Amino acid sequence: MPPKIRGMTANLISPKGSMRRFTLMLSGEDALEGHTNSTSPPMGLPHERFLLGEQVPLAPVLLLGQSSQAVNPAQMIACLQPVHLHATRDHLILMSQNQIDLTEDESNQLLKTVLPFIEEDFQSTVLYQGHYAWFIPAGPFTSLASHSIDQAHGRNIDWWMPRDTHDEGVAKRWRKLQNEIQMLWHINPINEARALHGLPSVNSLWISGIGKLNDVTSPSALKESNHLYGSHPILAGLAKLFNIPYSQELNISALAGSFAWLDEAEGFWSQVSQALINKELDELLVIDFPQGLVRERIFTAKDLHHKSWAFWKKAEALTWKDLIR
């Protein structure tokens, strides 16, 4: 029997507590084909929109997850991240942060160099300085439309640069500050030392995630979970926001009622499927994003084998590739 799919089966979400269900979410990628004639990219990656809502208030959720301080749920917050923009013949490409090998000391020194300029333009002090991200009240940049590094990295930044929404001139003001920071970091000893070691320079600052906690609208599949599993800091922030226990590593013996977003989900598939077969779980809810759209499917133990039209042949087990196809 094929798995139940949202839109085809009624009562997909069982009443809370009535089923021992494990929810597994997979990361999604943009489906840009329908946006190529648009003036701007889609706001947020599919899983960011699913977890946070259409306004994608990423910065305050990341701040909540990375720090121990209280976050004002009504305050608009921006996330600032030191990055490397790689120059090609005719455009710039944003590199992901795990490609630049930034140390904590380098992060501290780089922020110290530009902090007066940031706080002057944002008209506020930095709330929290993490290793890879700094958080500050958005202030004059509140209306700026932006995109996370996870969404924009590896792409021509021309289409992904921050844009004005209802207030004109905000993006221009940001580019002016960004250019000042680029010039200061260009002559910074940190980058000179990195060049000697063959490391990419930290040559720009990226802004994203502008929003407030009051704008977070998360799905019931997450909010009604008894535990969140996964290493992404979005989960750490949502766990604090909704007061849900959180662990980076999956506890395979405590799957029932939990929600997981795993980088290496394939490695746990045999154990999860065995938990269904052993009746430790009643259902597995898989959430993924083919073509950028939310897809939710429920699997039970009887869905774990392909039934052949040839009755004398042994049913084949459902593989991970079958699951995500």
Task: Examine the pLDDT at 6 and tell me if it is beyond 50.
Answer: no
Task: Examine the pLDDT at 13 and tell me if it is beyond 50.
Answer: no
For a pLDDT cut of 70, what percent of the chain falls above it?
A: 89
Domain ranges of the chain: 4-28+218-324, 55-215
Mean pLDDT of 218-222: 96
Q: pLDDT band at residue 33, thresholds of 50, 70 and 90?
A: low
Phi/psi at 39 (5° precision)? -85, -10
Q: pLDDT band at residue 11, thresholds of 50, 70 and 90?
A: very low
Q: Which two tokens stand for residue 117?
A: 């300029």
Burial per residue of 42-70, b for 16 or more beta-carbon CB atoms within 10 angstroms, e otherwise: bebbbbbbbbbbebbbbbbbbbbbbbeee
Q: Look at residue 306 in the predicted model and tell me its pLDDT.
A: 62
Q: Look at residue 182 in the predicted model and tell me its pLDDT.
A: 95
Q: Which two tokens stand for residue 16?
A: 């809370």
How far CA 37 is from CA of 138, 151, 196, 290, in Å, comes to: 30, 18, 43, 21
| Cα-Cα-Cα-Cα dihedral sign, residues 66, 68, 69, 70 | positive
Burial per residue of 183-207, b for 16 or more beta-carbon CB atoms within 10 angstroms, e otherwise: eebeebebbeebeeeebbbbbbbbb
Task: Examine the pLDDT at 166 and tell me if it is beyond 50.
Answer: yes
Q: Alpha-carbon distance 107 to 130, whole Å?
A: 8
Q: Look at residue 304 in the predicted model and tell me its pLDDT.
A: 85
> What tens digit of pLDDT does each residue of 222-273 get?
999 999 999 999 999 999 999 999 999 999 999 999 999 988 888 899 999 9
Q: pLDDT band at residue 1, thresholds of 50, 70 and 90?
A: very low
β-bridge pairing 246-247 and 227-229: parallel
Task: Examine the pLDDT at 86 and tell me if it is beyond 80.
Answer: yes
Q: pLDDT band at residue 4, thresholds of 50, 70 and 90?
A: very low
Find the DSSP H helices in 252-291: 269-277
Q: Look at residue 314 in the predicted model and tell me its pLDDT.
A: 59
For a pLDDT cut of 90, what percent of the chain falls above it?
A: 70
Task: Examine the pLDDT at 106 and tell me if it is beyond 80.
Answer: yes
Q: Look at residue 16 in the predicted model and tell me its pLDDT.
A: 45
Q: For all residues of the chain together, what is the average pLDDT?
A: 88
Q: Alpha-carbon distance 152 to 40, whole Å?
A: 12
Place of tokens 């909010």: 223
